[in-house]
Amino acid sequence: MIATVLRKACTAVILLWVAFGLVACGGFLPKTSDNRHNQPLQSGVVSALKAMGSSPGEAMVVRIFKQEKTLEVWKRTNTGQFKLFKSYDICAFSGDLGPKVKEGDRQSPEGFYTITPGLMNPKSNYYLAFNTGFPNKFDRAWGRTGSQLMVHGDCSSRGCYAMTDEGIAEIYALARESFKGGNPSFQLQIFPFKMTPANLATQTKSQHLSFWKNIKDGYDLFELNKAPPTWDVCERKYVFNVAGAGALNAMGPCPVIAKDQTLLAKQQADEAAVVNAVAEVERKAAEEAAIKARGDAVTGMVGGAVSGLFGIFGEKVTPVMSGKPAPVPFTRPANL
């Protein structure tokens, strides 16, 4: 009886100690009072924004690169252009390079998306999250399906882009403050990789190449102007910086679009660089194949020569016995 009472008393003390420890660390908070979505930006972040000529309330752009596993946050500065504020490591994304096509394919989406306050998820099971807005107008034009495609914390992906909790907390706070600054949305650009000639040269046989070339238009405009391009969809393809953006028929004909000459020059240079990069890859592959073929030929010649030598001299070769040599027999003289 006494032992039972002592055990209960000890258990109560331990529970009180654990509870006190959790409260002291700030970890023992009822879910209803969880305020993680309102965490203020750290002073270092605010100072860094100010140093680059921006502020928490300024507009922002988010760019994701699958192959590099990187999420970039760009902020508008006092010059009117956007500048890279910070790059965050992506813990994981689902599937391979290429767009999401249907529900359950475990692919993470690619393309251009518009993130509004309604797509922010402060009560996510994955710490914090925002919805990519998939399927967008382009995705729907292609009959693509899927839901709840997020950028979230918890470092675990099931069709989404997973960040660390620390990373998504800061990104979420940057988005929240941008909305508070009067910006109704921010643009999310998702690419398979940095859209450079070197990367495109490795993908010339991909089934997604035409799609990637299409979204490269938006990538190039951002690189040139350091400002997010407006986008819309017609003829089931993205179009950028066209008059009447947002009002086009996704399946209907595109208006006449005069391509920016600076953009055209960049893309022509990129196409030439891709051709040269592919030619260089093919040249190296041919060179390596020739070296291998010569090596195989030399190996075959040496092997044939050795076999021939054994064939000519094989009968005259006396094997060497291991151990001591056999004694020479002694011949006795006839007169003994």
Residue of higher predicted confidence among 58 and 282: 58
State the pLDDT at residue 161. 96
* Percentage above 70 pLDDT, the chain: 79
Amino acid at 325: P
| 329 pLDDT tier (thresholds 50, 70, 90) | low
| 245 pLDDT tier (thresholds 50, 70, 90) | confident
- Token pair of 242, please? 């066209």
Helices 209-225, 261-313: crossing angle, 10 deg rounding? 130
Q: Calculate the alpha carbon distances from 313 to 226, 260, 301 in Å.
A: 79, 79, 18
State how far the Cα of 278 lies from the Cα of 272, in Å rounded to an integer. Answer: 10
Query: Per-residue pLDDT for 316 more than 90?
Result: no
Query: Per-residue pLDDT for 254 more than 70?
Result: yes
Query: Per-residue pLDDT for 4 more than 50?
Result: no
Distance, CA of 183 to chain centre: 27
Q: Can you tell me which residue has the tokens 């997010």?
A: 228
Read off the pLDDT of residues 77-109 as tens digits, 9 standing for 90 and up.
Answer: 999 999 999 999 999 998 999 999 999 999 999
The helix/strand/coil state of 46 is helix
- Structural domains for the chain: 34-193 (2.40.440.10), 195-291 (no CATH)
State the pLDDT at residue 300. 72
DSSP 8-class letter at 91? -
Element (H, E) at 222: helix 209-225
| 53 pLDDT tier (thresholds 50, 70, 90) | very high
Query: Per-residue pLDDT for 304 more than 90?
Result: no
| 25 pLDDT tier (thresholds 50, 70, 90) | very low
Please give the average per-residue pLDDT across 18-45, as a whole number.
Answer: 59
Read off the pLDDT of residues 177-211 as tens digits, 9 standing for 90 and up.
Answer: 999 999 999 999 999 999 999 999 999 999 999 99
| 280 pLDDT tier (thresholds 50, 70, 90) | confident
Element (H, E) at 112: strand 111-115
| Average pLDDT value for the chain | 84
Q: Which pTM was predicted?
A: 0.77
Please give the average per-residue pLDDT across 117-144, as a whole number.
Answer: 96
State the pLDDT at residue 64. 98
Query: Per-residue pLDDT for 142 more than 70?
Result: yes
Query: Per-residue pLDDT for 10 more than 50?
Result: no
Query: Per-residue pLDDT for 44 more than 90?
Result: yes
Instruction: Name which of 97-101, 210-214, 263-267, 313-317 the model is least confident about.
Output: 313-317
**β-pairing, 111-115 with 186-191?**
antiparallel
Element (H, E) at 89: strand 82-89
DSSP string computed for 133-148? --S-HHHHHTT-----
So which residues are the catalytic ones?
152, 160
- Cα torsion for 189, 194, 200, 201, to the nearest 10°? 180
